[in-house]
């Protein structure tokens, strides 16, 4: 039995190149978003795309997984900054999300950088979104313990 089901809906009007869609989530957590094909391959121009939404989901899920793993270790974070960057490539037959880079900066008392990196790797292996993506794209993880985001 599922723990919870979540729903999103898009209404698309027009063709791929000249059309647009409106994305809504059932929770109402954010206002409707405009989506276009052009936002995938050109300037976003205030619109979003599936790859950006996957990156947002991955960053959020990973932050939760790492916070949980650090808490289990007895070293809960004061702050985590997670940046997820999805890479969309043109391949024979169309487009493919080829990679997701997770960059995490953590402020965690009582933990050295090597232990932070190990716990960060363990959290990535446990993250449900990582596990949904694993095997379909390359997931890369960069970590930094300190006060500024990794470069």
Please list the residue range(s) of the chain that carry CATH number 3.30.300.20. Answer: 50-145
Neighbours of 64 (CB within 10 A): 16
Confidence of residue 1 (pLDDT cuts 50, 70, 90): confident
Does residue 129 have a pLDDT over 90?
Answer: yes
Q: How far is CA 147 from CA 11, 81, 104, 150, in A?
A: 42, 10, 11, 10
Token pair in block for residue 121: 């790797």
Q: Over pLDDT 70: what percentage of the chain?
A: 97
CATH of segment(s) 50-145: 3.30.300.20
Q: What is the pLDDT of residues 29-83, one digit of tens each?
A: 999 999 999 999 888 889 999 999 999 999 999 999 999 999 999 999 999 999 9
User: How does residue 109 score in pLDDT terms, banded at 50, 70 and 90?
Assistant: very high
pLDDT at 147: 59
């Amino acid at each position: 039995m599922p723990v919870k089901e979540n729903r999103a809906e898009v209404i698309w009007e027009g063709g791929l190149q000249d059309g647009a869609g409106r994305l809504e989530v059932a929770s109402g957590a954010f206002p409707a978003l405009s989506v276009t094909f052009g936002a995938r391959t050109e300037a976003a121009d205030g619109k979003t795309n599936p790859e950006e939404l996957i990156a947002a989901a991955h960053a959020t899920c990973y932050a939760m997984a790492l916070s949980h793993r650090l808490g289990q270790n007895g070293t809960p974070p004061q702050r985590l900054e997670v940046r997820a960057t999805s890479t969309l490539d043109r391949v024979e037959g169309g487009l493919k999300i080829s990679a997701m880079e997770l960059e995490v900066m953590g402020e965690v008392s009582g933990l050295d950088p090597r232990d932070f990196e190990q716990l960060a790797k363990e959290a990535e292996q446990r993250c449900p979104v990582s596990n949904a993506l694993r095997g379909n794209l390359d997931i890369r993880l960069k970590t930094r313990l300190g006060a500024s985001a990794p470069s």
